[in-house]
Amino acid sequence: MRKLLALALSVSLVLGISYWNPMVANATEEILNTPGSSSWVVPAGVTEVTVEVWGAGAGGSSTGSTNGAASGGGAGGYASKVVSVTPGASIPYTIGTGGAGQTGSGGGTSGGATSFNSGEVAANGGAGGATSFLAGVGGSGTAGDTLRTGGNGGAGGASGFSGGGGGGSPGASSNGGTGTSGTNAVPARQSPTAGGTAGTDGGATGGTGGYFLQPYNTCQGGGNGGQPGAGGGGSCRNSGDPNGGTGGNGQIRLTYTAAPSEAGQSGTNMMMGTDF
């Protein structure tokens, strides 16, 4: 066997033959998470990339100092696809901004959509929580090979004593979970209402629903949704901090492998037994 390897090395050195071993190349993962529009330059040696996008989460609602149900915001959707690219090309993308939580009496703002390569891979943002028992609806993937749905927000408790949790954002392997609904029960309303669970492989947990500190007339506002794309929690009423939580911003995850240059990929690797 060693004689064969030595012969192969000699031939490669004489003829200038190089041997590329794909196992030598390591996968690279990039996370793009700054809201707004920009472009990604394809690295040298990259001809395809796995693109995963998350839409932004929506904000939670607030009832201010009045009675009512403050609901959690929905999480953004998810989409993925393997995209063919050209090294050196500049590819446009947009990352959605998380929806603002309501600071007075009203519904939360919806989350923004996220897309890659002019919509080749795209996902919507979640819908904002409302000042009613209608919680924010989760967004969905709109373009790609794998599409998943964000969790809905939880409905607020009657009379606004505790807010609904924000929806959890989806991951590569599962949808996001629904936020827990608020309650008027004592002592349950004295602790945060749970946000929706994160989807497997990349999702984030929804923001907690607002609750009452001691004394009862002091409110702890809704929690912010995690990034990527989880919904913000709804608030509770009365004084203190009766604000809905902000939704998590969207995100793009890029995974790719650059082909090794021919330099350094010659028969030397064969002597190590790594080219078979």
| 276 falls within a domain | no
Overall number of domains in the chain: 2
Strand partners, 36: 95
One DSSP character per residue, 117-169 reads: TTTTEEEPPPPPP-SSS-PPPP-BEEESSEEEBPPPPPPPPGGGSSPPPPPPP
Kindly state whether residues 8 and 115 are assigned to the same domain. Answer: no
CB 245 within 8 A of CB 225: yes
Kindly state whether residues 6 and 95 are assigned to the same domain. Answer: no
Domain that holds residue 17: 2-22+260-271
Kindly state whether residues 146 and 39 are assigned to the same domain. Answer: yes
Kindly state whether residues 109 and 232 are assigned to the same domain. Answer: yes
Kindly state whether residues 12 and 79 are assigned to the same domain. Answer: no
CB 269 within 8 A of CB 19: yes
**Left if phi > 0, otherwise alpha if psi is -120 to 50, otherwise beta: which for 13?**
alpha
> Tens digits of per-residue pLDDT, 145-157?
999 999 999 998 7
Kindly state whether residues 195 and 166 are assigned to the same domain. Answer: yes
Kindly state whether residues 251 and 267 are assigned to the same domain. Answer: no
Q: Which of the four pLDDT bands, split at 50, 70 and 90, describes residue 242? A: confident
Kindly state whether residues 10 and 113 are assigned to the same domain. Answer: no
> Tens digits of per-residue pLDDT, 22-77?
444 689 999 999 999 999 999 999 999 999 999 999 999 988 666 667 899 999 99
Residue 45 gets which letter from DSSP? T
Strand partners, 247: none
